[in-house]
Structure formats: C-alpha cells, structure tokens
Amino acid sequence: RSQSRSETDIQAYMWGISALLSDEQIEGFADYYAAQKPAAGKSTNPKLEAAGKAIYEKGLPDKGVLPCKQCHGDNAEGASGFPRLAGQKADYVYKQLQAFRTPLRPHCVVMKNEISAMTSQQLKAVAAYVQSR
C-alpha cells in the first residue's frame, strides 16, 4: 500500500477532507501536531489502573502476553514505530483493543496475537492505565 489520499478502501471519512489538501498543507499539519506537547494523563479509577499497570509492565506470562512497555515504551510514550498510548482516552483505547479482535483491524497481527488471551476486564485495565500516563 502506498497510503495515498486516493485509496478508496481506507478511512472513508477522511476522503472529502484530505483530497482537497495540498502536500504542503498536510506537511504543515503534521509539523504542527508533532510540535504539540502531549496532554497530561487523567486518573479516573486507581484500582483498575493498578491492574493495568501490572499488565503493561509485566504482561501476563501465564497467558503468553508480553509486557506492553516492550513495544510502546516504559511510559507509554511510543517507541520504534509503535504508537504513543499515554494520555489517550481509556474508552478509545479499549475500543481499539477490541477492534483488533475483528476484521476492522486486519493488518495488526502483532496486536491481534497479543490480546487474544486477554479478558475484556484486562483490556479495560490496560486502557485505564495508559489514560493515566
């Protein structure tokens, strides 16, 4: 895939917007957003966050789940092409984790494999933890 703006099978809701932008405008947007300081995380459920922190830092060895920090960084800041998770809304992260189990996210084999043995509650815990970072 070239990930161009003309590909009709990806992100349909962006077609109308991105098709009208020049390469320079897109580069300007990318530069602007890359220069923004990330917002501080928000803690909402300390008990759930503690459970998520344990999974994030140590994984679930008995289920073959690696620590999230191995790819996403010690503080969920993102690393080596893996996205920043710190400060993302927990409901968004949870929905994305759930989507890895569906045909909606077919190209993320690594994540599909990592979360396959996790329960919904464990996914919610990880989502709560990264929101708090």
Domains and CATH numbers, the chain: 1-36 (no CATH), 46-132 (1.10.760.10)
Q: What is the model's pLDDT at position 11?
A: 58
What is d(CA 85, CA 130) in angstroms, rounded to the nearest whole number?
A: 6
Q: What is the model's pLDDT at position 8?
A: 57
Question: Crossing angle of helices 120-132/46-58, nearest 10°?
Answer: 100
Q: What is the model's pLDDT at position 5?
A: 57
Cross-strand pairs, 60: 65
Identify the segments of the chain with pLDDT beneath 70.
1-13
Q: What is the model's pLDDT at position 1?
A: 41
Q: What is the model's pLDDT at position 74?
A: 96
H helix runs in 76-119, sequence order: 90-99, 109-115
Of 131, 126, 117, 128, the C-alpha closest to 58 is 126
Q: What is the model's pLDDT at position 9?
A: 57
pLDDT tens digit sequence for 5-39: 565 555 566 777 788 889 999 999 999 988 988 87
C-alpha distances in Å from residue 34, one per residue of 6, 101, 129: 24, 30, 23
